[in-house]
A and B are shown apart, each in its own frame.
Chain A
Amino acid sequence: GQQLNQSPQSMFIQEGEDVSMNCTSSSIFNTWLWYKQDPGEGPVLLIALYKAGELTSNGRLTAQFGITRKDSFLNISASIPSDVGIYFCAGQRTGTASKLTFGTGTRLQVTL
């Protein structure tokens, strides 16, 4: 099925650095979601965005719903070792009430 373009595919960063990742699509979305998956576990919701231009924070995480409704980004400030994992964006398109479209994931690794 269709997937969102998520970048970067992977990142190696040092503890304390800020991280930025984004998702883009050729389709318009009415909801954007960001999930984190720890190794061997199911993805957990981090942030949900429902309006174009919306900027929402959850602790050190900040995400924005792009004004064109075709993109979203997630920022992590002052990364720590427990930020390690795979981050997925997901979007809900108009007219597809039952299904989310997922990004391909960004694997984040944090070094001390």
Chain B
Amino acid sequence: SQTIHQWPATLVQPVGSPLSLECTVEGTSNPNLYWYRQAAGRGLQLLFYSVGIGQISSEVPQNLSASRPQDRQFILSSKKLLLSDSGFYLCAWKPLVRGWSGANVLTFGAGSRLTVL
């Protein structure tokens, strides 16, 4: 079965410090990978998605970047954190198989809570 791991679960960082959140998926190949951010009590904002190694699409211009160095690894980074980067970050994956309705189902990780002070 497929599993998704996301870490760290909780992070407190000072303004101006770097960030690295990591996500890995097991039990599947060539997944689509996603990073979402959720502000407190709010909906899900898509930040980045990737359909393959080295392929990153950015949805919102911001202080963050994403990379996909391996097929099942997705990393969210920042060189200098801002206060507004605080939030709950969610990694997600879905199958790349086309022509199958179940390929539209997105599975989320447990999330990483980032507090920037």
List A residues at the B interface (Cβ < 8 Å): 1, 3, 30-31, 33, 35, 40-45, 48, 50, 88, 90, 92, 97-100, 102-105, 107
Nearest residue (CB) in A for B91 is A42
How far is it, in angstroms, between the C-alpha of A43 and the C-alpha of B60 when the chains are bound? 21
Q: Is the CB of A88 within 8 A of B111?
A: no
- Interface band, chain B: 20 to 34
Q: Is the CB of B108 within 8 A of A43?
A: yes
Enumerate B36-67 residues with CB–CB distance to A below 8 Å.
41-46, 49, 51, 57, 59-60
Q: Is the CB of B43 within 8 A of A105?
A: yes
B25 at the interface (CB under 8 A from A): no
Q: Is the CB of B105 within 8 A of A1?
A: no
How far is it, in angstroms, between the C-alpha of A31 and the C-alpha of B57 when the chains are bound? 22
For the complex with contacts A100-B104, A104-B43, 8 further pairs of A-B residues with Cβ separation under 8 Å are A31-B101, A40-B111, A41-B111, A45-B107, A48-B105, A97-B98, A98-B51, A98-B57
How far is it, in angstroms, between the C-alpha of A3 and the C-alpha of B113 when the chains are bound? 23
